[in-house]
A and B are shown apart, each in its own frame.
Chain A
Amino acid sequence: MRSTNGLVLAAALSLALTGCGGGTDAGGGGAAPLTLPGVDEYLNAPCPEVGTKPATDKEFTYWSMWTADEPQGKVLGKAIKCFTEKTGVKVNVQWLGRKLLTQNVAPALNTDTVPDLFDQDISQVKAAIVAPGGTQPVDDVLDYKIGEGDKTVRDVLPKSSYDIPQNKDANGKIFEIPYELLGNAWWYDKAKIKDFKAPATMADLFALFDKAKSDGMAAVSQDGDINFYNAYFFTQIAVRYLGAGGLEKAALDKSGAAWTSDPGLLKSAELVEKLAKGGYFIDGWDAAKFPQIQQRWADGDAAYLFVGSWGPSETREYLSKQGGDKGIEYASFQFPQPEGATHKVVEQLPIGFAVTAKAKHPEAAKAFIAYMLNKDILSGIPAVADNLTPRADLPVPDSLKDVKAALEAPGVEHAIFMDALDGLAAGKWVDNVFYPLNNDLLKGKITAKQFIDGLAAKQAEFWKSTNS
């Protein structure tokens, strides 16, 4: 579960710089701009109409995962201002930051002072709040109007962003309506990698890496101190063999036998082993202190970097703080389809609003959710916060175009980051079973076979002793 938190935090914080007017020394005039145009334009634009207005509620409380002066905070601030202006409903907002679920919302659920509305990525909300029964369904919001004529929420959101198992509570009801979407990808600098051709097979991918090595660069930068960054390689490949939700199912197998029964898992592990033992990772990645290693990618020490859609803004900010004059022409590609894998999968992570079960003003809160999806409000997410939204009809920042394209490619299966493994058993499954073995695999300390056998054995042991 840790992972998603980090992703969101990463994305948001990294963007803070661009939103807040960039680095103090905006000398970094590279290929990519260091500040986003259109921030002021967005913030000063007139408020759109509210589609579905609350009938009775005159106020509601919103606890936010953002802080007031980061870009997303500014976008939400504008939404709140406009909502109050158009409906007269007062919004009591608390800007609490990313850890709000376990540090604020969950504890508050023990009392009667609860927020009506809060936000976070679906994995975390599900683990921390939905599991103990803290939310109410928001299916009805799908039919709320968003203030663009008769358009409803259902009309503008792709099903893949909300109608997924990971966004359902115990009764199969949806608990969250997304307004931001994270993706992940292999990043590279177009200016540095000449004659780049997107890899179609895993062999192509390794060829790219080998070429980088022969060019005198390290192939892959990887901040090895972050467990879930290390997990991406295996989960990305494996999920293409098993399909979305396949890994989660394997992990839930009490006997652990699921790991050995599907040959795709071993094949995935073998590919990771090849990556690990091929000497592709940059020296020192296994003694990393985030974000040192991704900075080395930005510095050009390595050719490729696999992280989420926050990668460009974080590294852009780093470069601007270094006072350098060379920016990066961001481009990205997805993992190629491994041999024999049948599922074309792309990973995503929706961030959205949820309503508490004990909410006193759910009606107003739900009206606000729908209003947030209004084009003129939601466009702040790409324009101000340099991030993706689930809506397909909004402009996309240049650096994220490849990711957006991958997410919306026809016929793809959408999986949650890490196939939501990080939320299993309150987060204990990854900590105790997966991360230790996966780290060893990635460091080349164990073979693919040992990894799979280890998972099977450890998992059996784990489920035997775990109560929840």
Chain B
Amino acid sequence: MTAALGAHKAGRRRLFLPFFLPAVSLYVLFLLVPTVATVVLGFTSWAGAGDTPRFTGLANFGELLASDSFRFSFLNTLLYIVVGGVGTFLLAFLFTMVLRDMRGGKTVRAILFFPNIVAPVALGMFFGIVLIFRPNRQGLVNFVLESFGIDAVKFLAPENVTWVVTGCLIWASAGFYITILMAAVDRIPPYLYEDADIAGASPWQKFRNITLPLTWDVIGVAGVLWTIGAIKIFELVFVLAGPGTYSPPIQSWTLGVYVFDRSFGTAGSPEYGMACAAAVVMIALVSVLVVMLRRMMRRDSVQF
């Protein structure tokens, strides 16, 4: 019997490579090798139009640091990650507080999730139209504002657009994180909330003493997901902050826009070397943020 099982185990081990190899080789070939290549190319000067990459050491990174467009890209990306993240999670928390025992909560959740299935390009265009400022023929939002007697707002003015994008981002992402957090909240035994009811806890106290500590792990995972999602932000900004066909003003750039602009999106000369250098910064940033987040969220695991 044990011998048979042992043989079986060995048989299963033999399955490992044929099962694992196709996926891992595609992964290595299409994702890891290009990543390494990107890192290497980040240290070269290369237009990417038939010329040969020339090793230039840290020159690209020096230029990145000194360049306004990159500074804006970096800071905006950070802003979207941090402010957008805080906003999204605060919203998600508020919703978990309310949705937990609300009637129709499931339907509401489904409706809130809806923006997540919409292509970011489509979202950007949609908001571009909805946020138009044009006296006598306003976009939807200003139309509503004016019908409440509030002055129309120049949402798409460059000084506002970063915040508008942040708002759109929060609106579009909240459903996803509400869904994940609510699933974690649903796993919390209801009697804990009942006990808190008997204790007379307010919604906030329940959140603080039950929901938050008991969904901590999921919040950590969600935070990581948010970070790696937000660092890629590109289409929404590209379409919403600019005319949509050319790169928007640098004040609204993100790292994603920067990389695209320097490679395939520019109307000037492509600079693949610079794009790769910026991509390296993206990888570094996401690594640092994820490690930081994980460290911040570290805690004894809780079983219930």
Residues of chain A touching chain B, judged by Cβ–Cβ distance below 8 Å, are 1-6, 9, 99, 101-103, 105-107, 109-110, 124, 127-129, 131-134, 223, 225-227, 283-284, 286-290, 292, 296, 357-358, 422-423, 425-428, 431-432, 435-436, 439, 458, 461-462, 464-468
Contact residues of A: prevailing secondary structure: helix
Q: Name B268's contact: one of A423, A435, A465 (CB within 8 Å).
A: A423
Nearest A residue (CB) for B158 = A439
Residue with the highest number of chain A CB atoms closer than 10 Å, among B62, B65, B247, B267: B267
A3-B267, A468-B271 are contacts. A107–B250 as well, Cβ < 8 Å? Answer: no
Residue with the highest number of chain B CB atoms closer than 10 Å, among A5, A225, A458: A225
A6 to B245, CA, bound (A): 8
Contact residues of B: prevailing secondary structure: loop
A105 to B270, CA, bound (A): 11
Contacts of A289 in B (CB 8 A): 128-129, 131-132, 156, 243
Q: Contact residue range for chain B? A: 35 or more
A467 to B66, CA, bound (A): 11
Which residues of chain B in 116-139 are interfacial with respect to chain A, using CB atoms and an 8 Å cutoff?
A: 128-129, 131-135
Closest Cβ of chain A to B239, distance in Å, is 10
A426-B269, A467-B56 are contacts. A225–B156 as well, Cβ < 8 Å? Answer: yes
Nearest A residue (CB) for B251 = A436
Asked if residues B267 and A102 are in contact (CB atoms below 8 Å), the reply is: yes
Q: Name B267's contact: one of A5, A284, A462 (CB within 8 Å).
A: A5
Closest Cβ of chain B to A363, distance in Å, is 21
Asked if residues A432 and B69 are in contact (CB atoms below 8 Å), the reply is: yes
Contacts of B205 in A (CB 8 A): none
A287-B156, A467-B60 are contacts. A436–B250 as well, Cβ < 8 Å? Answer: yes
Asked if residues A103 and B66 are in contact (CB atoms below 8 Å), the reply is: no
Nearest A residue (CB) for B67 = A432
Asked if residues B249 and A110 are in contact (CB atoms below 8 Å), the reply is: no
Asked if residues B50 and A133 are in contact (CB atoms below 8 Å), the reply is: yes
A461-B66, A465-B66 are contacts. A107–B268 as well, Cβ < 8 Å? Answer: no
Asked if residues B267 and A124 are in contact (CB atoms below 8 Å), the reply is: yes
Asked if residues B267 and A132 are in contact (CB atoms below 8 Å), the reply is: no
A442 to B264, CA, bound (A): 30
Q: Name A467's contact: one of B63, B131, B266 (CB within 8 Å).
A: B63
Asked if residues B269 and A467 are in contact (CB atoms below 8 Å), the reply is: no
Contacts of B60 in A (CB 8 A): 467
Closest Cβ of chain B to A311, distance in Å, is 16
Q: Name B49's contact: one of A129, A422, A462 (CB within 8 Å).
A: A129
Residue with the highest number of chain A CB atoms closer than 10 Å, among B45, B132, B244, B266: B266
Q: Name A227's contact: one of B47, B156, B249, B270 (CB within 8 Å).
A: B249
Nearest B residue (CB) for A110 = B50
A357 to B49, CA, bound (A): 12
Asked if residues B268 and A2 are in contact (CB atoms below 8 Å), the reply is: yes
Closest Cβ of chain B to A464, distance in Å, is 7
Closest Cβ of chain B to A359, distance in Å, is 12
Contacts of B267 in A (CB 8 A): 1-6, 101-102, 124, 127-128, 422, 427
Asked if residues B250 and A432 are in contact (CB atoms below 8 Å), the reply is: yes
Contacts of A134 in B (CB 8 A): 49-50
Nearest B residue (CB) for A111 = B50
Contacts of A292 in B (CB 8 A): 132, 134
Asked if residues B249 and A427 are in contact (CB atoms below 8 Å), the reply is: no
- What mask results when residues 132 to 163 of chain B are scored 1 for a CB within 8 Å of chain A, else 0? 11110000000000000000001111101000
Q: 5 closest pairs, A vs B, by CB? A: A427-B268, A109-B50, A465-B66, A287-B154, A1-B268
A1-B267, A287-B133, A287-B157 are contacts. A468–B45 as well, Cβ < 8 Å? Answer: yes
29 chain-A/chain-B pairs, Cβ below 8 angstroms: A9-B245, A101-B267, A102-B264, A105-B49, A106-B270, A107-B264, A124-B268, A128-B49, A128-B268, A128-B270, A129-B49, A132-B47, A132-B49, A225-B242, A225-B248, A226-B243, A227-B246, A227-B249, A284-B135, A287-B156, A287-B160, A288-B156, A422-B268, A426-B266, A427-B267, A428-B67, A464-B66, A465-B62, A466-B67
Contacts of A124 in B (CB 8 A): 267-268
Contacts of A290 in B (CB 8 A): 243-244
Interface residue B51 (Cβ < 8 Å from any Cβ of A): yes
Contacts of B244 in A (CB 8 A): 290
Interface residue B263 (Cβ < 8 Å from any Cβ of A): yes
Asked if residues B268 and A428 are in contact (CB atoms below 8 Å), the reply is: yes
Contacts of B266 in A (CB 8 A): 1-2, 102, 128, 426-427
A463 to B154, CA, bound (A): 35
A202 to B249, CA, bound (A): 29
Asked if residues B49 and A107 are in contact (CB atoms below 8 Å), the reply is: yes
A454 to B82, CA, bound (A): 31
